[in-house]
Amino acid sequence: MQRRVILEVLVDSVESGRAALAGGADRLEVCQNLFEGGTTPSAGLLAALRHEVALPLNVMIRPRGGDFCYSRCELEVMRHDIRIARELGASGIVLGILRPDGTVDAEAVADLMRLARPLSVTFHRAIDMARDLDEALETLVGLGVDRVLTSGGEATVIEGVDAIAALVRQAGDRIVVMPGGGIRERNVEKVVALTGATEIHVSGSRSVESQMEHRNTRVFMGKDLRAPEFSHNQVDSARVATYRRLVG
């Protein structure tokens, strides 16, 4: 019998969490600032999601956008954020730390894992910026990390599908290798079939128009490279339901 594929959905709002639940998600990855690839969500968002959505919440622990080589002060921020996530009912944490030479910072990861346990620990797509995927995976296995999210060291899972399949074989039952990054309804079955993955990570979002009737189009709240001011992305329960149907 084919094993049921676990469907993790990326969310950055309570509305998205509710939509993911309605669509059949098994687990949520919670973060904010998706424009920068996702950073640590606010305590308010975590508390509200825990109250509103009866799904496991894996919480992003990332103090800023950009690279994954962190200062002593940034690591201290991450420690505090892990404590808060635990207090607010997180099921797991999601992190990724690299050394300047592109290897996994095993010492820093181990330190944060000690704070996080007994929550599950996912190493995110920082692995895709590592100098060697095989080497990085073995380091994570040695640390006892539960899961790694990866696009196979490429921009999307389709481009990295062969590398992901190799990582799944290398991992065996020692660690979960979860494809994520560019999964769409049109390719999700192919990704699962070609990689042998038992978990996948999707966004399943759509653009939602702002409720603002008065709009001052002369002013923008972001930097020059900016998202639309009068719309935002939100998980679409119908898209999540389609993923659920396609992967079983």
Go through the chain and tell me how many residues it has: 248
The predicted model gives 155-172 an average pLDDT of 97
Kind and range of the H or E run holding 143:
helix 133-143
The 3-state DSSP composition of the chain as helix, strand, coil percent (nearest 5) reads 40, 20, 40
Q: How many CB atoms lie within 10 A of CB 211?
A: 6
pLDDT of residue 2: 58
Spatial separation of the C-alpha atoms in residues 108 and 84, rounded to whole Å: 18
Closest C-alpha among 116, 191, 139, 149 to residue 38: 149
Q: What is the per-residue burial (b if ≥16 Cβ within 10 Å, else e) of 110-136?
A: eebbebbeebbbbbbbbbbebeebeeb
pTM score, two decimals? 0.91
28, part of any domain = yes
1, part of any domain = no
Range of the domain at 114: 6-208+221-247
43, part of any domain = yes
Q: What is the pLDDT of residues 83-142, one digit of tens each?
A: 999 999 999 999 999 999 999 999 999 999 999 999 999 999 999 999 999 999 999 999
75, part of any domain = yes
The predicted model gives 25-54 an average pLDDT of 96
196, part of any domain = yes
Kind and range of the H or E run holding 100:
none
Contact yes or no for 92/124 (Cβ under 8 A): no
The predicted model gives 56-81 an average pLDDT of 96
**Confidence tier at 221 by pLDDT (50, 70, 90):** confident
136, part of any domain = yes
Write the CATH number for 41.
3.20.20.380
pLDDT of residue 200: 98
The fraction of the chain above a pLDDT of 90, given in percent, is: 87
Q: How many domains does the chain have?
A: 1
pLDDT of residue 225: 63
14, part of any domain = yes
Spatial separation of the C-alpha atoms in residues 16 and 203, rounded to whole Å: 10
pLDDT of residue 62: 97
Res 159 pLDDT > 90: yes
213, part of any domain = no
Res 1 pLDDT > 50: no
- Sheet of strand 6-11, all strands in order from the earlier edge strand to the far edge: 176-179, 147-150, 120-123, 92-95, 57-60, 27-30, 6-11, 199-202
